[in-house]
């Protein structure tokens, strides 16, 4: 169950917000009644390598409008590899 927390409430119960994100799913934090951030549990190594198919992201991408002629991608040499975070 995705819960909604006001900022002050989330600050006062941050450990609970984390526990609920781990066990119940994403927790949304609001400021002045508007969602501003979501606390989401970090997936374990297996899930990072094979993302959860049920989150709807793949379906979202596949439902995007098609562009005639496709997209022009930059030359591969202009793409810089990124270093992994936290390693």
- The verdict on residue 13 lying in a domain is yes
Q: What's the CATH number where 29 sits? A: 3.40.1620.10
Q: What mean pLDDT is predicted for residues 11-22?
A: 94
Place of tokens 């781990």: 22
Q: What is the pLDDT of residue 10?
A: 96
**22 located within any domain:** yes
CB-neighbour burial class of residue 60 (10 A; exposed 0-12, middle 13-18, buried 19+): exposed
46 in any annotated domain: no
Q: State how far the Cα of 87 lies from the Cα of 85, in Å rounded to an integer.
A: 6
- Report the distance separating Cα 74 and Cα 19, nearest Å: 43
For the chain, the domain total comes to: 1
> Radius of gyration of the chain from Cα atoms?
18
- Give the per-residue pLDDT at 45: 47
| pLDDT tens sequence across 21-76 | 999 989 999 999 999 999 998 875 456 556 556 678 888 888 888 888 877 777 76
pLDDT exceeds cutoff 70 at 20: yes
> Containing domain of residue 17, as a range?
1-41
């Amino acid at each position: 169950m995705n819960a909604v927390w006001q900022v002050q409430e989330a600050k006062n119960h941050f450990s609970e917000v984390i526990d609920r994100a781990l066990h119940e799913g994403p927790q949304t934090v609001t400021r002045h009644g508007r969602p501003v951030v979501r606390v989401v549990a970090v997936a374990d190594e297996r899930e990072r390598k094979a993302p959860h198919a049920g989150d709807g992201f793949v379906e979202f991408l596949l439902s995007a409008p098609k562009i005639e002629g496709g997209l022009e991608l930059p030359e591969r040499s202009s793409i810089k590899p990124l270093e992994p975070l936290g390693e």
